[in-house]
Amino acid sequence: MAKHEWILWFTQLTRRDVARVGGKNASLGELIGNLQSEGIRVPAGFATTAAAYRKFIADNRFDGPIRAHLDAYRKDQATLAQTGAVIRRLIRHGQWPAELAEAICAAYRDLGARSGGDEIDVAVRSSATAEDLPEASFAGQQETFLNVTGEAELLDACRRCYASLFTDRAISYRQNQNFDHLQVALSIGVQKMVRSDLAGAGVMFSIDTETGFPGVVTIDAAWGLGENVVQGAVSPDNYTVFKPLLDQQQLTPILHKTMGSKEQKMVYARRAGHPTRNVPTAAHERNRFVLDDAEILQLARWATLIERHYGTPMDMEWAKDGTSGELFIVQARPETVQSRRQAGVLKTFTLTGHGEALLTGLAIGEAIAAGPVQVIKSASEIDRFKDGSILVTGMTDPDWVPIMKRAAGIITDHGGRTSHAAIVSRELGVAAVVGTGHGTSALADGQEVTLSCAEGDEGRIYAGRLPFTEAEVNLADLPQLRTRIMMNIASPAAAFRWWRLPCRGIGLARMEFIINGIIKAHPMALVDYDLVEDQEARKQIRELTRHYADKSEYFIDQLAQGIATIAASQYPEPVIVRMSDFKTNEYADLIGGRQFEFNEENPMLGFRGASRYYNERYRRGFALECAALKRVRERVGLDNVIVMIPFCRTLDEADKVLEVMAENGLARGEHGLEVYVMVEIPSNVILAEQFAERFDGFSIGSNDLTQLTLGVDRDSAILKSLFDERDAAVTGLISQAIGSARKTGTKIGICGQAPSDYPDFAAFLVEQGIDSISLNPDSVIGVIRRLHEVEAGLAKGMKA
């Protein structure tokens, strides 16, 4: 047999060669052949072929013994563990056919010569011929060996790769997929090592892995070799990049950056039999990002190019060489979970009960699960796992797959969104919360918990079994409306979750939810930190801002990231962001806030909304809000953001706010900036035509408008029966506002709660000719169906 049938260089391969070299190696060849000219770097290397594997098996006469052991397993004459162990031991003790060993070693020497060295360090990766296919994929079935040096180590690593074709999880998987074990072969990729032990490495996807939102690249990064990220052994950095704006070089379309704890890193060990080892990361490494913005954008552009070439969302591994500073793609395969979901079907889970939150972590998927906890700290204990339990462990690797598929939910101490636990949980459709930090110590065997991934990107573990609902809607069945339907979004975490809904923008993004839920500190306590007297508040602010030299920059950056994430979810449709609308008592509850606020008898009618923005007590805090919005629109490039001013009482107040905004770089009309005003005070309705001269659009706030029209405190329990947005006085004002808007050619919508709660109220708005209705996401489907009937009735009446 010719040597070229045993060894193929990556440059000779394309994705059509899966049968010869498996999915991983075929994909590397495809990248080198088609995308190196686009600047994508892939480390050089070669692959052993399926024919080489079959020669190894045939020359050692292993076919018969392997089939016999597998038959015994199928007949329940041996356990899975026994079967896998005996086959792997058999292969690891096999002898290399001399000509095959020489072909591998000759290629290794040739790779060294091409790379300018003799015994170079290589990565030795398994690539099964039935692995990484969209219809039959699973994370980490076979082994990878890093920092392999010398011909003897290489041949030993190759033999171990062959043996890994019969790991317990690989045998189990092939049984479930109905693959013939002896028809599947294994190719080995031998690739020049990238010295990421001196820098960092990680994983990236060209799609949001939790929601399937196609507009982003998500990147995980940790120091050292990439195996810790793949295995979920560390909590990595995470970066989210908006794809549609990547080709505009003047922009920095990074939506979000989260710094992981990156507790350890994998480095070269240079010890016999132990080529790598984990060491603790230094404090300065834990407290800074692995990649800078330019590197994040470079990887994201590569991910977009690779996705475009393959025509499907992709799952990639990358590494940075600490010597040259260069980035490399070391693996690429089709993403196999979100890309296969039915785009027209929306499945939702809603928690309907309340309980004590015991733990938080990263939510994987969007489901909810409940059941008894089972803490298992080692793979050696998995035999005691009980079906339907909530699996709690430090981290998972492929050995855990047989019980992961039997779990109601999964909780891990460590890992990020691209860890093994996260990838497999998505593929199995099992709810998981990863990176909780201390789930194995905080939870106990038999403890009843509810695991919720339905509340945004933060997953929560609640005490007890809480009730929840599950629903599925076919979006293709929904009718088209004349009225623009938009969404109210509170938190960035919720934005991507609802991208499939047939909405045309966001009618209300509440800035205060980002401030309260993410930033946590009072803006003025950040601006005037040196004046903060509360020592506990100072301590908390130092901890929150520890990665920022300037505490004001912390506020701007975190607010900008939150707004950008919300805006990206609907780009290029309009996203209306309301400036902060806390009351004084709510501002006081922020960290450091009490010193900068004062007591008011009635905060609802006090120092709130527009009145704060030009007042010296808050003017510099408002400047931070403006800076964040300017960054989102001009640096990130999300110019679909519209600014909205709440609780603007008078025309003079409107002029003052617009003047302050312009001083802070947000001048109405410049760079296409539109500014809306809330219509929530009777004065806004009475003087609507004059307000229309100052603003580009109106948004009706039905809660405050009802409160101020009827003189009813909307929070009063005793007056609850009187508070009704459908009262004739309120609907009369709304009708008047819509009429004034139509007269002046000003856009008008509504973002209050009433259309979500009362379909008849939504129908009234359509009859009045409102331009848009912004709804809570969970009420969109029902209101669309109701409004279709209303619009059809109106059209019929007009024809008559």
- Report the catalytic residues: 420, 751
Cα distances (angstroms) measured from residue 670 to each of 509, 558, 661, 665, 744? 22, 24, 12, 9, 22
Please say whether the beta carbons of 367 and 429 come within 8 A: yes
Q: For residues 676 and 323, what is the distance between their CA atoms, to the nearest angstrom?
A: 52
Four-CA torsion 600, 618, 257, 644, nearest 10 degrees: 80
DSSP 382: G
Cα distances (angstroms) measured from residue 651 to each of 256, 596, 654, 676? 37, 27, 5, 14
- Alpha-carbon Rg for the chain in angstroms: 30
Alpha helices, DSSP H only, in 115-226? Answer: 151-163, 168-177
**Which tokens sit at 36?**
């190196």
Cα distances (angstroms) measured from residue 464 to each of 360, 370, 371, 372? 15, 8, 8, 9
Strand order of the β-sheet with 254-258 is 254-258, 237-242, 216-223, 200-205, 314-320, 327-334
Vertex 509: Cα angle to 696 and 525 (nearest 5): 105
Cα distances (angstroms) measured from residue 335 to each of 83, 134, 314, 457, 692? 31, 7, 5, 20, 49
Four-CA torsion 555, 558, 563, 566, nearest 10 degrees: -160
Q: For residues 254 and 319, what is the distance between their CA atoms, to the nearest angstrom?
A: 20
Specify the 3-state DSSP secondary structure of 201: strand
Helix (H) / strand (E) containing 110:
helix 98-114
Specify the 3-state DSSP secondary structure of 455: coil
Q: Can you give 736-768 as a three-state secondary structure string? A: HHHHHHHHHCCEEEECCCHHHHCHHHHHHHHHH
Q: Which long-range contacts (CB under 8 A, 24 or more apart) does 595-598 make?
A: 595/525, 595/531, 595/532, 595/533, 595/534, 595/537, 596/522, 596/524, 596/525, 596/528, 597/522
Q: For residues 167 and 88, what is the distance between their CA atoms, to the nearest angstrom?
A: 7
Please say whether the beta carbons of 335 and 27 come within 8 A: no
Sole residue written with tokens 């609850």: 720
Q: For residues 691 and 708, what is the distance between their CA atoms, to the nearest angstrom?
A: 18
Please say whether the beta carbons of 31 and 333 come within 8 A: no
Beta strand extents in 177-273 (DSSP E only)? 186-192, 200-205, 216-223, 237-242, 254-258, 264-271
Spatial CA neighbour of 334 closest among 476, 605, 131: 131
Q: For residues 372 and 449, what is the distance between their CA atoms, to the nearest angstrom?
A: 6
Q: b or e along 319-339 (b: 16 or more beta carbons within 10 Å of the residue's beta carbon)?
A: bbbbeeeebbbbbbbbbbbbb
